[in-house]
Structure 1
Amino acid sequence: MASTPIRHLHPLFLFVLVASLRCGAAAGDGDGGEGFCSAEPSSECSGGQPLYWKVTHPTLAPAHLQDLPGFTRSVFKRDHALITPESHVFSPLPDWINTLGAYLISPAIGAHFTMYLANMQDGSKSAPPPKDVERLIFVLQGSISLSVGTGTTHSLSVDSYAYLPLLPTSLLYDFNIHIMDFQPGEYLNVKEVHYNQHGLLLLEGQGIYRLGDSWYPVQAGDTIWMAPFVPQWYAALGKTRTRYLLYKDVNRNPLI
């Protein structure tokens, strides 16, 4: 019987979370066609605590553990990982100018996408994403300017996001992003088990995440990677809502 060649999908996806250091101070650009989207403008610079303040200024550990040498809540297992802020290591980002980044998820962990934080200042700038690579930018703090191939410039404030390049109707582009909100006491109705893998950044709140047979207390600033078929479930705790940003590969061929 003759075999049919399998068409391989592109293995690398970039998911960029931009955290600028001051309101209105960051600048970045990209190329590769239109694909710009934006949430409602943020009033972060009008005073008060920024919307996602706890992501960039997290509580690293309970008070009675903060002075314990070697303490971390980070966990890495075969089919999932919890990466907490005390594990972030910032260094210069390749192809970025005047920018420090911390990689949260990468192919080295078993993922086929990359998620990282980028701290930008006045004069910071990024190169366009590599060819055939999808990039999503989500602004956590401050604001940036985004220039696309047509020469149009967009201003992105907190809660704004952009996708590069234009999303075609093709299995090569399986990028799917959700913003999930839970009020205190709300939880997922079912324990999910499916072939999609996920990347998750908690933006607000706290709760309990089940990954496999393990149960993890999580809070704003935590990152989670979930491999295909790992059992997963979440419940929101505390007095404020939970919000997290979720990556999912929805069109990927499970045979590849």
Structure 2
Amino acid sequence: MSYPKDLLSTRAIIQHGRYALIPPEGLVNNQLPYFEKCTTSIIASPKLGASFVQYLIEMEPEGKTTKAFGGDGIETFVFVREGALDVVVDGTKYELNQGGYVYCPPHLNMLLENNSNSSTKLILYKQRYIPVEGIPEPWVVCDNINNLEANIYEGMEDVTLIDLLPTDMAFDMNMHILTFQPGGCHPFIETHVQEHGAYLLSGEGIYNLDNNWIPVKKGDFIWMGPFIQQATYAVGQEPLSYIYSKDCNRDPEI
């Protein structure tokens, strides 16, 4: 860190309970219990208006969690942006590299450890699971996005969607990767009950949030609350791609 060389400014936009754009510039390190050798930023929580908590973590070599993460009704998800990670769930170790992920159901928990020689960058996520009578609980899912099929989105050849979790009623959430080729866009401006937390993996675009068109780029995080208008155009020379969460398969309570 050093003294600023110009006026302080930011691209961050925070509309509590509605939407937020959080760029990487300005993120601060949060010290958390049981996270060793980790640089951790909390980018979404109920304090923002989200129903989940999401973290960006850079884990040094020999970095780890010393207490199980999740369980007791909390489902969790970890995704490796860069590097390698060992994830232990119910005594089983899953060895992940870039693009790898693990979903842990609410009756289990996970331990994380970086046993490689370089830092690992992670997306970590948790939310409270909503059980439904007569529907079994979800199960552990481990895979890598490079193994999954990208499907054409809404009939648009220049937009693809990858489902990271099963589309099964046992799951009350999913994770997706949506990719727009340069010039690609949503087919319409969406307005729906689901909320999203989206982390931009690559590219640049113009995002409609609550009918405000906002420039976004790789490294940005976007939180979209329920019923907020949302859509994007991809601009520039490379695809705009982001990983995002979605609540699903549940009837809203009243």
Instruction: Tell me the TM-score normalized by structure 2.
Output: 0.70
Alignment equivalent of 1:157, drawn from 74, 92, 97: 97
Structure 1, unaligned stretches of length 5 or more?
1-65
Q: Report the equivalent of 2:73.
A: 132
Whole-angstrom distance in 2 between the partners of 1:238 and 1:86: 21
1:190-217 Cα distance to aligned partner (Å, 9 max, x none): 1100111111000000000000121110
Q: Report the equivalent of 1:106.
A: 45
Contact kept in structure 2, 1:135 and 1:163, CA below 8 Å: yes
Whole-angstrom distance in 2 between the partners of 1:108 and 1:252: 23
Alignment of 1:68 with 2:37, yes or no, is no
Contact kept in structure 2, 1:199 and 1:223, CA below 8 Å: yes
Instruction: Say which SS state the counterpart of residue 74 (structure 2) adopts.
Output: coil
1:13-39 Cα distance to aligned partner (Å, 9 max, x none): xxxxxxxxxxxxxxxxxxxxxxxxxxx
Alignment of 1:86 with 2:55, yes or no, is no
Contact kept in structure 1, 2:182 and 2:237, CA below 8 Å: yes
Alignment of 1:120 with 2:120, yes or no, is no
Q: Which amino acid aligns with 1:153?
A: K
Whole-angstrom distance in 2 between the partners of 1:107 and 1:95: 21
Contact kept in structure 2, 1:178 and 1:246, CA below 8 Å: yes
In the TM superposition, what is the alpha-carbon distance from 1:69 to its structure 2 partner? 2.4
Whole-angstrom distance in 2 between the partners of 1:180 and 1:197: 15
Q: Report the equivalent of 1:199.
A: 197
Q: Report the equivalent of 2:221.
A: 223
**How well do the aligned residues superpose, as a CA RMSD in angstroms?**
2.0
Q: Report the equivalent of 1:77.
A: 15
Whole-angstrom distance in 2 between the partners of 1:183 and 1:210: 17
5 Å-filtered alignment, 1:166-245, equals 168=137, 173-245=171-243
Whole-angstrom distance in 1 between the partners of 2:80 and 2:103: 12
Q: Which stretch shows the higher mean deviation, 118-127 or 233-242? A: 118-127
In the TM superposition, what is the alpha-carbon distance from 1:146 to its structure 2 partner? 1.4
Q: Larger relative CO (CA 8 A, sep 6+): 1 or 2?
A: 1
Instruction: Tell me the TM-score normalized by structure 1.
Output: 0.69
Contact kept in structure 2, 1:185 and 1:235, CA below 8 Å: yes
Whole-angstrom distance in 1 between the partners of 2:5 and 2:190: 37
Whole-angstrom distance in 2 between the partners of 1:214 and 1:77: 12
In the TM superposition, what is the alpha-carbon distance from 1:251 to its structure 2 partner? 2.7
Residues 252 and 112 from structure 1, CA distance in 2 versus in 1: closer, same or farther, beyond 3 angstroms? Answer: farther
Contact kept in structure 1, 2:30 and 2:42, CA below 8 Å: no
Q: Which structure is higher in strand share? A: 2
Q: Which amino acid aligns with 2:40?
A: G
Alignment equivalent of 1:253, drawn from 236, 251, 254: 251
Alignment of 1:144 with 2:85, yes or no, is yes
Structure 2, unaligned stretches of length 5 or more?
109-135, 139-167
Q: Which stretch shows the higher mean deviation, 177-186 or 127-136? A: 127-136
Identity %: 37
Whole-angstrom distance in 1 between the partners of 2:6 and 2:189: 34
Whole-angstrom distance in 2 between the partners of 1:228 and 1:123: 39
Whole-angstrom distance in 2 between the partners of 1:138 and 1:113: 16
Contact kept in structure 2, 1:98 and 1:121, CA below 8 Å: yes
In the TM superposition, what is the alpha-carbon distance from 1:94 to its structure 2 partner? 2.5
